Structure 1
Amino acid sequence: MERVLLVIALMASIAIAALDSTVVATAAPTIVGNLGGISLFSWVFSIYLLASTVTVPLYGKLADLYGRKPILLFGCATFLTGSVLCGVAGSMEQLIVFRAVQGLGAGAIQPITMTIIGDSFSIEQRAKLQGLFSSVWGVTSLAGPALGGLLTEGLSWRWVFFINLPIGLLAVVLISRFFRERPEKHEHVLDYWGTVLLSGAVIALLLGLLQGVKSYGWTGAETMALFGTAAFLLVVFVLQERRAREPALPMWLFSNKVIAVSCLAVFIGGGMMFGVSSYLPLFVQGVFGGTAFDAGLVALPMSVSWPLGSIFGGRVILRFGYYPSAVIGALFLIAGAGTLLTLSADAPQALGYVAAFIVGIGMGFQTSALIISVQNAVEWRNRGIATASTQFFRTIGGSVSVAIMGAILNSQMADRLARVEGVPQGATAETLLNVEQRAAIAPGVLDAMQHALSASLHEIYFFVLGASLVSFAVILFFPRGKAHELAAGAQAGPAAAGAGNRAPTGAGAARTEGPAESPRLMPEEGG
């Protein structure tokens, strides 16, 4: 019974982070109307992404040094504190600061939760449970917008933040009670310089992508300065990690082929995921003339098929290994991206649902293989930072891809709208999303604008297709073999505590580990 309650606790932890992004987006117009500060509103999302991304590697490392439980509880407490503060914010400036607090907590929740899953369950159990944990994202993506609208209209926009409290407190209570570990006690040397350098590089990169590109363009002096700063700090960070006794992000991780290929694949997959979830709804609402509800509904098939892909992917992993599951996922992603290219203003809207369903299947197969393989590619003492690295690369990949796709869409729409006669002055893709503005446009002009948006979005879908092909090529380099053959101890590699960047023999690619095999984690077996 305790094991069941632990699963519930971990699902609740994932749910508060997953639910937050969808419900807040739904309440955005009301928040702006109440607090004002529309020029600052993009920072409500940007600061959250910055804070949560920068801290992921740090929390992963701290979880390896001091145990998972205190870091996860700290993350949950910080996130819930930020939620309460956001709910009582009296100005846009306050809301932005409090969203940063939320983000600082969110950076710990998902990677440490996934690490605990890797610690607490054998590979056989994880392969079977992966669909269950994936379904949390599906349910929250479906329920989030509706719940956000219900809370905003029925109570207040402030409740989109307060709703985190009961779910988060449930997670905290259950984790405190039913997750047990006994980390080894020995002196650690924290890599403060490495943490500062990596944080600075990520902040500069994300600021360039989220704000610089939008305000100054890709080649603007301010944008280039941010990208240059990020590159410089990253180089210094790598040099620092090579000499640190206990590096914040050990460089030897990426000499392990399982981890290196997985991180590159999730970097590309993050871009695909954000591309589909952002630009398929835009097609439905802007080109097909659907409502905001229709745009949200198109995500339904992916929310259903992703857990299904995870379930079947888990079975493939247990029988044949990680490689077949990852390849199957990559092929589905190519098929889904190809289906997106068949969308047009005259195509049936159901085609969008089919594309989303196929992409979800691919994500389920591939993500399960990559996450489980990375967790098994290291021993307990490095599993936190290894798991966090996948989340880190996925977020960075998504941010980079969204910035690129946004720039493509803006330039393509500007060129095409310039060739359409009668377009209202200042009209953009967003004009087609506003029902009132759309109704005021002459039918012939509206049709031409919708075709312009369709053609522009096809450029995005070509980018997604290209990403899927690159992802497939990367997956081909994934090591073959059954899961136990790619386990920590099955081939030479690094794992010894305090070894820094040296790779002692006997631990590198990962051993199938259950709770009893994790020397520093001793969760009690439930009934």
Structure 2
Amino acid sequence: MTKQTRAIVVVAMMLGMFLAALDTTIVGTAMPSIVGKLGGITLYSWVFSAYLLTSTTTVPIYGKLADLYGRKPLYIFGSLLFLVGSVACGSAQTMEQLIIFRAIQGLGAGAVVPLVLTIIGDIFTLEERARVQGLFSGVWGLSSIVGPALGGLIVDHFSWHWVFFINLPFGLISVLLVVIALKENVERKKHHLDYIGTLTLTGSIVALLFALLQGGTTWAWNSLPSLGLFAAAIALLALFLYTELKAAEPILPLSLFNSRIISLSSVGGLILGVAMFGVTTYVPLFVQGVQGGSATNAGITLGPMLLAWPVAATFSGKLIIRYGYRFTSLLGTTLTAIGVIMTMFFTKETSLTFIVVAMILTGAGMGFASVVYTLAVQNSVPWNLRGVATASTQFVRTIGGTIGVAVMGTILNAQMAALFAPIFSRFASVAQRLPHDIAPANVLLTPELRATLPAAFLNQLELALSQALFWVYALIVALALAAVVTVFFLPGGRAEKYTYKEEGAEIGEEPISEPLAHLG
């Protein structure tokens, strides 16, 4: 591949990454306006849940198919399906239609990010990839900052429909450039698709995510629906693992995890996902609920983290080449741990400077660590397993974040229920004047109501929420410290020592139970 052709592919992949990242942030800004037009406030969460379910469950499937049939056709298919879903979302007339179309959009989105990372892994050497990964992290960070602002501008000056239609130019240009520039040599042979593995994995994830997303809200955690869904998730997972051990061409080769590098990178990615989703979800809640900041203030608070991430990712590649996986990931996980430890000291009087420093350290740490986990996995496998290996790291990170946020939500709700009840009892006369359709936890997040509350009542509620959030942050800290410990099990030395050798059957330093070249 010539330098010019490779540059075109890079531009196409950056557009694809920008497209996926932008969609995750821009829709949230527009949702209040969309609900105002279409109604259906009770279905609000399902606009996000439907997208999350389909985009998460399809990641490992796309990764495996990309190994079997090539990255190009799968990337084109996923991108076009995403665009079809985007047009349908922009044309929705009811909330029910929007939810269905968001699910279609998610089916396409499951291909975009993992295949972008996989294609970059294909066309660059380890040294080149280490530099380029920082560029793509920068695209993600920029999209995360631009998305909310752009969503607000579109809703205020145009129409919410354009929040979805804006995907079209980016997506079509990306697909066109891939069609023109990306050339692949895929071995043509008959494949045995792992249908049972695909169905059991998908079913297990759907049951798990459905239980986590609806548990504690639609029904109680100990209710029959919750228990039934968790039981179904476990049973289907067990069947999936059994199937993968027997399948000729498994959708997720379990022998991949015989590699210390891949298994530890997966654990690290899972913890990273929990920390990332936890911080981005619950730090804004602190700023609004405890300190009385606006939604804009809460969003700005995350800005330093989202900027520090791509900056650190850019330097991470150079450190990996020079010092190896262990040193770079130790630096990343240590910075993340320090940053999240600082969140445990957040109080109503905490200065903006302290919060910003905590976010910078957390973002920088995640930037250093995330690049390590992606490069280490890609460097450890041959071409015919790079797609499923890369997809597995993205899959684990997303699942980790989803499960983590659900567990944190459970902790927060339990703490608030215990702490808020006595306060409302002491201020019974004030509580009776509150609107009946607003939950106690939402009182602190409604500026109009906050302004009418007596200072003593408001201060006690803020203190209670701060105490409840402390235990959420404590969980994030415990996981961050666990991530630091796992780093010491990564192999030391320069990264190039652990590059997969085609003539052998090794991944990094450790042999796999079957020759990798025959697993694809």
Normalising by structure 2, we get a TM-score of 0.94
Q: 1:323 aligns with which of 326, 330, 336?
A: 326
Give the residue type in structure 1 aligned to 2:339. Answer: G
Q: Which amino acid aligns with 2:515?
A: P
| Local SS of the residue matching 1:215 | coil
In the other structure, the counterpart of 1:438 is 450
Matched, 1:485 2:497: yes
Q: Which amino acid aligns with 2:285?
A: L
Residue number in structure 1 paired with 2:262: 259
Following superposition of structure 1 onto structure 2, how do residues 349-428 of structure 1 map, counting pairs within 5 Å?
349-420=352-423, 421-422=426-427, 424=431, 427-428=439-440
In 2 relative to 1, CA 206–468 (structure 1 residues): closer, same or farther, beyond 3 Å?
Answer: same
How far apart are the structure 2 equivalents of 1:42 and 1:477? Answer: 40
Q: Cα 1:467–1:217, aligned 2, differ >3 Å: closer, same or farther? A: farther
Q: Which residue of 1 aligns with 2:286?
A: 283
1:13-60 per-residue CA deviation (whole Å, 9 max, x = no partner) reads 011111111111011111111111111121110010000011001000
- Secondary structure of 1:139's counterpart equals helix
In the TM superposition, what is the alpha-carbon distance from 1:218 to its structure 2 partner? Answer: 2.6
Pairs aligned (count): 504
Q: Which residue of 2 aligns with 1:92?
A: 95
Tell me the percent identity: 46
Are 1:341 and 2:347 an aligned pair?
no
How far has the Cα of 1:341 moved from its partner?
A: 1.2
Q: Deviations over 1:223-261 (max 9, x none)?
A: 111011000000011111111000011110111111111
Say whether residues 1:159 and 2:162 are aligned partners.
Answer: yes
1:334 touches 1:469 (CA, 8 Å); kept in 2?
yes
Alignment of 1:204-223 (within 5 A): 204-223=207-226
**Structure 2 vs 1, CA of residues 185 and 507 (structure 1 numbering), >3 Å: closer, same or farther?**
closer
Which deviations, in whole Å up to 9, do the C-alpha atoms of 1:106-157 show, x marking residues without a partner?
0000001100010011111111112210011211111111100110111111
Cross-structure match for 2:467: 455
Shift of 1:213: 3.6
Q: Which moved more, 1:204-213 or 1:418-427?
A: 418-427
Aligned to 2:273: 270
The separation in 2 between residues aligned to 1:186 and 1:247, in whole angstroms, is 16
Q: Please give the residue correspondences for 1:131-280 in structure 2 after superposition, counting only pairs within 5 Å.
A: 131-280=134-283
Matched, 1:332 2:335: yes
- Match of 1:188, SS state, is coil
The equivalent of 1:46 in structure 2 is 49
SS in 2 for 1:216: coil
Task: Report if the CA contact (8 A) 1:325-1:366 is conserved.
Answer: yes
User: Is it true that 1:503 corresponds to 2:507 in the alignment?
Assistant: no
| Alignment deviations for residues 443-500 of structure 1 (CA, whole Å, 9 cap, x no partner) | 22111111111111111110110110111122222122321211112996468xxxxx
Q: Which runs of 5+ in 1 are unaligned?
A: 496-500, 509-519, 521-527
Deviations 1:316-358 (A, max 9, x none): 1010111111111110111011111121011112222111110
CA distance in 1, matches of 2:86, 2:407: 31
Q: Distance in 2 between the 1:455 and 1:487 partners?
A: 47
Structure 1 length-normalised TM:
0.93
Residue pair 1:409, 1:459 contacting (<8 A) in 2 also: yes
SS of residue matched to 1:53: helix
Q: Which amino acid in the other structure matches residue 320 of structure 1? A: Y
Q: Select 1:299's aligned residue among 302, 311, 325.
A: 302
| Structure-2 separation of matches of 1:505 and 1:80 | 35
Letter in 2 for 1:177: I
Structure 2: gaps (5+ residues): none
8 Å CA contact 2:30, 2:163 repeated in 1: yes
- The AA in structure 2 aligned to 1:440 is T
Check whether the contact 1:494–1:502 (CA below 8 A) recurs between aligned residues.
no
- Distance across 2 between alignment mates of 1:315 and 1:174: 29
